[in-house]
Chains A and B, each alone.
Chain A
Amino acid sequence: MTASLRVSDPEAAWTVDDPRELALRIRLRAVRMVAPHGFGYLGQALSSAEQVAALFSHARPGLDRLVCSPGHYVIGPFAAAAELGLLDEETAASYGQDGSPLEAIGTERSPVFDHTCGSLGQGLSAAVGFALSDRLPRSGYRNGAPKENADARTYAMVSDGELEEGQVWEAALFAAHHRLDRLTVLVDANDSQVDGPVSGITTLEPIAGKWSAFGWHAQDLDGHDVDAVRAALEAASAETGRPSVLICRTSTRHGLDCLPRDADGHFLKLPPELAEAAVAELTSRLEPTRE
């Protein structure tokens, strides 16, 4: 597989046997990607691992689109793509290094995604644009009609901190008004932003109530329960007449007990001893799932 493959590219193909195990593998892979740097966006992978695993088990390869609005979250889907053979080992190992196509904050060269952006709050507009495009007449394209994608869904990863940006709500209004029901948003509600807990900086609650009031089908759930996320994605896909949002309640420290209690989830420090302990913990947890 090439390092530039997007999940919606016709050649993209993968299968997920066990989403729970994939979530574990995303964590382990993310630890190994961050370890050479000693710090990085590991917390984003820890809080979104189940969402990413559920998404890759639910989305249809070569058809559905993936937008990662908070560019700091690209590590999770990169890890999943490497585990699923969408991204070669050498490229995955170059994460965050000089000259790598895998920058720590998403760029135009980021594989896997149809769109990502490091300036927060912008991704939902792109997802809305894709969903709108899929609804337009098939003939109107510069280079001839693309693959048949009348049934395509667009998935957008969004973070709770991003909900402080007004553009998210501009996009939410537009999507609901135009009844873009082939759009599903996963909000990673990990209550973490640079300056501290989101709830201590801006009151976003009731998050689900806000989206509902904007005309969206909103589900509030445990974002670390991979079955619950999968079920919510299925419910979203079945919804007609309005876009769907999953408010996934998560923690940036989830699934890695060796992290210090006061660790800064936005930008975790991972010195060699801690990285070693993290690899050992996750590897041991992975063993029983293989039985």
Chain B
Amino acid sequence: MSEGVREPPYRTELKPYGRALLDLARRRDDILCLSGDLTRQCEVDLFQAELPGRFVHAGMAEANMMGMAAALARSGHTPFVHTFGVFATRRPYDQIANAIAYPNLPVRIVGFMPGVSTPGGPSHQAIDDLALMRGLPNLTVVDVADAVEAAQVPEAVVDVPGPVYVRLKRGENPVIFDAGHRLTLDRAQVLVPGDDVVIYACGMMVAAALAAASALARHGVSAGVVAVPVIKPLDTRTVLAAAAGARGLVTAENHSIVGGLGSAVAEAVAEAALGRPLRRVGLRDTFAEGARTAAYLFDRYGLSTQALVDEAWSAAGRADPPPAAPVPAPDEGEYAPV
């Protein structure tokens, strides 16, 4: 049904980004690695162990870390800055705006643990990082789907002239794409063609979008899936081409529906006057509480495959009850859409 995409449940990999960054840094000695006291969690313990001379432990001081990264970039180094997404964006926002975004410096900010992928409570959940970073001029904003893409992040972003924000899943990363898949920063990719409804998804919601499309197909709704790894600059050409060929549109992001992928697609579609019904799946302008597991939060806050099926069903113009979306039970070390 879909090109270049595996079937769930997906096997998982650990540290795809950390391994790729180290590999690139072996060949590129301009790369520096900064960490804000979350070194193992951000997969850069590998970098620290092998290239300690280019590893900077900034400590638990994100504002200073961003300011230093700016000066290091200005001096000709290429700093990759690591912490959780929530601490990488909210806490040092003014520093990123003034010291990095405004001078348009090549600092790569890598924020782990996106959205409600952590049961660490609202303090640890980056539910507005895409919105915050998208609001700053000069930023490129990236939310990749799987281990294959995560492993391509360092190479894809290293030579972007300006600053880049990347959010990455912490821990086990699913392998959704075939090995031949290529992450490009200028293109959204149509993973599944469909003309009743199109689901635009980024990050961890790509797996759910693929699962939803399969469930919808079994019930006679042709649902397309467009993976949008780059929220800004948005590939409006691909987004609009897919929208023009569909009856309804759904966006899916592990993020607030305010300011992220849903907003970006809504703006593009509205400016093109396409007049398609649009449903935004994501956190509905709320913080997420009360979890022991991420799966509970995805379900409770409307980020499940079922939620996508429901929204797509309605966006496709179906008035009858939507079908149930089966969720594969993953074995140990496997990953299934929620």
Contacts and interface: CB of A to CB of B under 8 A. Distances in A.
Indicate, yes or no, whether A interacts with B: yes
Interface of A: 108, 114-115, 117-119, 122-130, 132-134, 136-137, 139-143, 146, 166-167, 170-171, 173-174
Given A139-B29, A142-B76, A125 B98 contact: no
Interface residues of B, number: 32
A170 B102 contact: no
Contacts of A142: 30, 76-78, 106
Contacts of B102: 108
A70 B137 CA distance: 23
Given A137-B53, A142-B76, A129 B70 contact: yes
A173 B74 contact: no
A140 B32 contact: yes
A133 B71 contact: yes
30 contacts: A114-B74, A117-B99, A122-B67, A123-B67, A125-B64, A125-B95, A126-B68, A128-B68, A129-B68, A132-B71, A133-B76, A134-B75, A136-B77, A137-B54, A140-B31, A140-B54, A140-B76, A140-B77, A141-B30, A141-B76, A142-B76, A143-B76, A167-B61, A167-B63, A170-B59, A173-B59, A173-B61, A174-B58, A174-B59, A174-B68
Given A129-B68, A170-B63, A137 B75 contact: no
Interface in B96-151: 97-99, 102-103, 106
B69 interface: yes
A133 B75 contact: yes
A56 to B, nearest CB: 21
B99 A125 contact: yes
Interface string B19-35: 00000000001111000
Q: Which of A114, A125, A136, A141 has the most CB of B within 10 A?
A: A125
Given A125-B95, A134-B75, A141-B76, 16 more contacts: A122-B63, A122-B95, A124-B67, A125-B64, A125-B67, A125-B99, A127-B71, A128-B64, A128-B68, A128-B71, A136-B54, A137-B54, A140-B30, A141-B75, A146-B75, A171-B68
A129 B72 contact: yes
A129 B69 CA distance: 7
A119 B66 CA distance: 14
Contacts of A123: 67
Contacts of A167: 61, 63-64, 67, 95
B56 interface: yes
B94 interface: yes
Contact of B98 (A122, A137, A139): A122
A125 B20 CA distance: 29
Interface in B246-260: none
A108 B103 contact: yes
A7 to B, nearest CB: 14
Contacts of B61: 167, 170, 173-174
Nearest to B104: A108
Nearest to B25: A140
A133 B72 contact: yes
A137 B31 CA distance: 12
The 8 closest A-B pairs by CB, nearest first: A125-B67, A129-B71, A141-B76, A170-B64, A129-B68, A170-B61, A133-B75, A167-B63
B77 A126 contact: no
Nearest to A143: B76
A177 to B, nearest CB: 8
Interface of B: 29-32, 53-54, 56, 58-59, 61, 63-64, 66-72, 74-78, 94-95, 97-99, 102-103, 106
A174 B76 CA distance: 21
Nearest to B60: A170
A114 B70 CA distance: 12
Nearest to A168: B64
B64 A115 contact: no
Given A118-B98, A142-B106, A166-B63, A125 B68 contact: yes
Contacts of A132: 56, 68, 71-72
A167 B106 CA distance: 22
Nearest to A174: B64
A119 B29 contact: no
A119 B92 CA distance: 12
Nearest to A129: B71
B84 to A, nearest CB: 18
Contacts of B69: 129
Given A173-B61, A174-B59, A126 B75 contact: no
A80 B99 CA distance: 25
Contacts of B64: 125, 128, 167, 170-171, 174
Nearest to A171: B64
Contacts of B77: 133, 136, 140-142
A129 B103 CA distance: 15
Nearest to A165: B63
A272 to B, nearest CB: 35
A225 B198 CA distance: 72
A138 to B, nearest CB: 10
Contacts of A166: 63
A161 B252 CA distance: 46
B238 to A, nearest CB: 31
Contacts of A170: 59, 61, 63-64
A122 B29 contact: no
